[in-house]
Structure 1
C-alpha cells in the first residue's frame, strides 16, 4: 500500500448492522499496519456529549467527548470528526484512517464533509457493512429510529427501513460479513436481494482479503451524489433470481392524481424496496421522486423536468442529468416519464403492473391534453405543498 506524501487516506465504513461493521473495521486494522479507526458513539448523547474513541489493531489509543451542538448528536459528530482526522494526519505515522460511523449516521453526509476538507485528508472509499441474513427484516422495519434508539437528532424522523436502504445504495463497496454464531444464516434469496439493490457497488466478503484494496480505489463524491439524485439515480435492473424479483416499470403517460393517490398504500407495501421518478398530469413540469421501504413512502418534488427548462439553463445541468434525460426522451413529453423499480422476495409482478397501469390517464383523459389535465383534482397538494 502506497500513501501520497503529506496525505492521510480516509475510508468510511458505516451501516446499521453493528456486528458486520465492526468485523469489517477490525479486518482493516489487522491488514494495514499503522491504520487507525475513529468512532463517535452517539448512544451516549443523552449525557449531553458524544463519546469519541480512536483505536488500532492493538486496542484503544485514546478517548474523548464532543459536546452536543444544538442538542444534536450528529451535529457534534460533524464538528468533531474533521479536527480529529486532521490531528491524526499531522501527528504522522498513520497510513490509513477508518471512520467507523455509528449505526444510523448517513454515509453521504459524512463523505461530503471529509471530501470538502481536502488535503491533507483524502477520501479513498465508502463502504456499508451488511449481514445478508438481516436484509429482509431491516428493509421491512417501519419503526422510527427514535423508537429503537438510533435517532441522530431530536428532529430525526427517519425509519429503520429507509435508513438501511440509503446505506445500501450510496457506497461503492458493500462489505458482506455474516454472523457465524447466529442461528439464522443468509440464503440465496438474501444474497440475491442484496445484489439487486446494489447495482453500482462492489461486493467483498469480510475475511477474503479484498476489502482494503476496494476501499483504497478512490471515491468520487459528486458522482456518488448523482447516483442518488432522482433525476439520474442508478436504479436496479430487471431481474429474477432465487425468488427475488426486480420489476422496472416505464411508461410515457402521466399519472391521474386521484387514482395514484388512492393506490399509494398498496404500492408502498408492494415491495421491500421501491424507488424512481414519476410525473402527475396536474403537475406536468415537476419531477417527483418515489422512495419507499418498510411500508413507509416519501414522495417529494425534485425540481423541474429538463423539458420544462429554457434551453439556456441546460448548460448549468450536470452531465449525468442530461444523459439520463436523453435515455428517456419522448418526442412530445421530453424527459417526462414514469421510471420506477420494485425489488422484493415474492413480488407480485403482474398485479403490480396492473395496479400501476390503472393509475395512468385513460385514452380519453390523455386526449384532453395539458390544458385539460390541469383541471383534474390536485390530490397531491397536501402532500407536496403542506401548509406551514
Structure 2
C-alpha cells in the first residue's frame, strides 16, 4: 500500500503537528529529535512510543535513508511527520522519491514574533543549538525561509499581526493559504491548498522564478527585484556585489551566467546573511543533444532564444525587507561585463572567486 504523508515544518511546530494529526483520523504521527545526531543518536516517536536509534554515521541523510524512509514503507497508509528543524522539507521530499509515497501537503509554521528577524539574520543553526552535525553551517535564515517558501500551507503562531511579515510572505509564497494558529481548522486549511500546489515537487532551477504571480509593487518597504540581463557577469565584480544581497534581504534565488564559465549555469540562493551557490548543469546553448532535456525546459529556452547567446541569461528574484531595490539593481548591473570585456571575452582570463566552490557545486 502506498503512503500518503503530511509534513509539518517549523522551529515551533510541535503542537501544530499534533493538531494536524488529530484532525486526520487514522493517521500515524512520526516525530524525530536530532539534537544528539552528531553522536549517532536519534530519538523517534511513533504515536508517542519512543525508540532510541543508534546510527553508524550521525548525519541527516542517514536518518532519512536508514530510518524515515523504511519506517514510512512499514507504516503505510496516512502519516503526519513532525520534522525536526534539521530535516528541511525540500530535502525530505527529494529523498521520498525513492519510495512509493504521495506528499499530501507540506505545512510550515511561522512564528510572528521571531520569523522576520530570523529571516534577515546571520545566526547559524549551531549558534541556535539546532545544528544537525558539527559541519552544519546553515543559517537559521536559510532554514526558516526555505520552510516557508516550500510549503503548501502556512500556520502563523504568536500574538498579533505584522504587516511587514504579511508583505514578505505574500511575495515569498503567494499561493499558500495562511491561517492563524488560534482556532485553526486543519481540514479547511488543507482544503484551501490549490489543486496545482507543489506538494513535494521541486524544479530543476530552469523554471519560472516568479512563482504564483507575487505582487511586484512595494508595500511596507517590502519589494521584489526581478533582475534580467542578456550578458554575463564579471565573476570578480559579482563576487563583490553579492554583499548587497546579504543585508536587509529575505530571499534571493536565480540563475547566473559568468563570463569565466560560459557553458555552466550557476544557481545563486541567499536567505538573510546565508548564501549558497550551486551548479545547475549546462546551458542548452552548450548542449548538442537535447533528447534527454525536459520538454518544458526546451520550450522555455526556445521561446527566449538569443541568436548569439542561446538560452544564456541572468535572472534573479530578490525579496527585500529593508534593502534598497535601486541599490541592488545598480550593484548587479555594475557587475556585468562591459562592452569591451564582452568583445574580448574569449581572450581574457577572468579571476573567478566562484571557482573555489567548484567541488561543492559538483556535489550538489
TM-score of the alignment, normalized to the shorter chain, above 0.5: yes
Structure with bigger gyration radius:
1
Given candidates 169, 173, 176, the residue that maps to 1:198 is: 173
Is 1:176 matched with 2:155? yes
Shift in Å at residue 252 of structure 1? 0.9
Q: SS state of the match for residue 154, structure 1?
A: coil
Q: Contact 2:222/2:320 (CA < 8 Å) preserved in 1?
A: yes
Shift in Å at residue 326 of structure 1? 3.8
Q: SS state of the match for residue 25, structure 1?
A: helix
Write the mapping of 1:246-257 to structure 2, written as runs, cut at 5 A.
246-257=224-235
Q: Contact 2:9/2:109 (CA < 8 Å) preserved in 1?
A: yes
TM-score (norm 1): 0.81
Alignment match, 1:225: 202
Which segments of 5 or more consecutive residues in structure 1 lack a partner in the other structure?
Answer: 1-5, 90-94
Q: Please give the root-mean-square deviation of Cα atoms over the aligned residues, in Å.
A: 2.9
Shift in Å at residue 114 of structure 1? 3.2
Q: SS state of the match for residue 321, structure 1?
A: helix
Is 1:52 matched with 2:73? no
Is 1:264 matched with 2:242? yes
Alignment match, 1:92: none
**Partner Cα separation in structure 2 for residue 51 and residue 376 of structure 1:** 52
Give the 3 Å change call, closer, same or farther, for CA 267–35 of structure 1 in structure 2.
closer
Alignment match, 1:347: 323
**Partner Cα separation in structure 2 for residue 166 and residue 40 of structure 1:** 19
**Partner Cα separation in structure 2 for residue 134 and residue 379 of structure 1:** 37
Q: SS state of the match for residue 351, structure 2?
A: coil
Write the mapping of 1:74-93 to structure 2, written as runs, cut at 5 A.
75-89=62-76
**Partner Cα separation in structure 1 for residue 323 and residue 264 of structure 2:** 29
Write the mapping of 1:8-19 to structure 2, written as runs, cut at 5 A.
8-15=3-10, 17-18=11-12
Given candidates 40, 55, 68, the residue that maps to 1:68 is: 55
Give the 3 Å change call, closer, same or farther, for CA 74–152 of structure 1 in structure 2.
farther
**Partner Cα separation in structure 2 for residue 277 and residue 329 of structure 1:** 16
Where is the helix percentage greater, Structure 1 or Structure 2?
A: 1
Number of matched pairs: 355
TM-score (norm 2): 0.86
Q: SS state of the match for residue 157, structure 2?
A: coil
Given candidates 255, 263, 273, the residue that maps to 1:285 is: 263
Q: Contact 1:123/1:218 (CA < 8 Å) preserved in 2?
A: no
Alignment match, 2:278: 300
Output one character per residue of 1:104-133: Cα deviation in whole Å (capped at 9) or x when no partner.
212123223334211xx5432222222244
